[in-house]
């Protein structure tokens, strides 16, 4: 018999959303428990006995937790769908994972033209742990820039520049040797287009941007557009950094 779960955690375990997003869904009155709308976040669910519906659809509780990593190509949206019919990460799921599409939630975003490491998971608790600002999970990017940065510009980026939000956005910047201007950028937040906006503030364009690490887990040699399922060892590395 399954243990009772708070309603937000139940939704997260169904792969609907992270726990924070699930709380918003419940508060909005979109969830019915045994035929009655509930907005009480303290409500507990018995997965073996209770009937839970979201927007009229019966939710099926599944204890299996699956986390996938993809090397997202440029020109692919991190979204459930697109009015312009552009391809999304769900469109490029391999056939063996298509059945999970409705339960997989993406962990953070990459913009349309940014490539690299993206996670999708059915584990709402994991998604919450990786995205909550208090956890400060580090992400590393490679940024191919329009020109070399000065010492002063690197120092400004590391101190934190104003990208139009309430607080400065700091990062750790390191030049990577090679003929073209290429930088490693490490950040602990996940604001919208954060790395690109950081460089924009100092008048530097980013020709190409690729995320190569989340926490302690690296993208390594996963080919562009390819997926793989994370192992317990991978998950331990992911939460390490």
- Taking Cα atoms as reference points, which of 156, 118, 123 lies closest to residue 22? 123
- Taking Cα atoms as reference points, which of 137, 131, 84 lies closest to residue 109? 131
Q: Is 162 known to be catalytic?
A: no
Give all strands (DSSP E) within 29-129, no chain letters: 31-33, 36-37, 44-45, 52-54, 57-58, 67-72, 105-107, 115-121
Per the DSSP assignment, residues forming a β-bridge with 182 are: 144
Distance CA 152, CA 135 (A): 30
Helices within the chain (DSSP H only)? 7-13, 19-27, 124-131, 151-159, 194-201, 232-238
Query: Active site residue: 62, 111, 125, 234, which one?
Result: 111
The answer to whether the beta carbons of residues 118 and 70 sit under 8 Å apart is: yes
So which residues are the catalytic ones?
A: 111
């Amino acid at each position: 018999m399954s243990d009772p779960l708070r309603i937000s955690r139940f939704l997260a375990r169904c792969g609907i959303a992270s726990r924070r997003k699930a709380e918003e869904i419940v508060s909005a009155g979109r969830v019915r428990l045994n035929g009655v709308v509930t907005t009480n976040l303290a409500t507990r669910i018995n997965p073996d006995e209770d009937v839970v519906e979201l927007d009229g659809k019966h939710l099926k509780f599944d204890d299996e937790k699956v986390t996938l990593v993809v090397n997202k190509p440029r020109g692919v949206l991190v979204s459930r769908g697109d009015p312009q019919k552009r391809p999304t990460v769900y469109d490029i799921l391999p056939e063996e994972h298509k059945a999970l599409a409705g339960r997989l939630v993406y962990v953070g975003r990459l913009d349309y033209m940014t490539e690299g490491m993206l996670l999708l998971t059915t584990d709402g608790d994991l998604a919450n742990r990786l995205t909550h600002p208090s956890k400060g999970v580090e992400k590393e990017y490679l940024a191919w820039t329009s020109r070399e940065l000065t010492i002063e510009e690197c120092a400004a980026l590391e101190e934190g520049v104003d990208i139009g939000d309430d607080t400065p956005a700091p990062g750790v910047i390191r030049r990577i040797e090679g003929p073209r201007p290429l930088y490693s950028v490490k950040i602990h937040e996940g604001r919208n287009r954060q790395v690109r906006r950081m460089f924009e503030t100092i008048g530097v364009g980013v020709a190409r941007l690729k995320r190569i690490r989340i926490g302690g887990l690296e993208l390594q040699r996963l080919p562009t557009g390819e997926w793989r399922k994370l192992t317990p060892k991978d998950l331990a590395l992911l939460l390490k950094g």
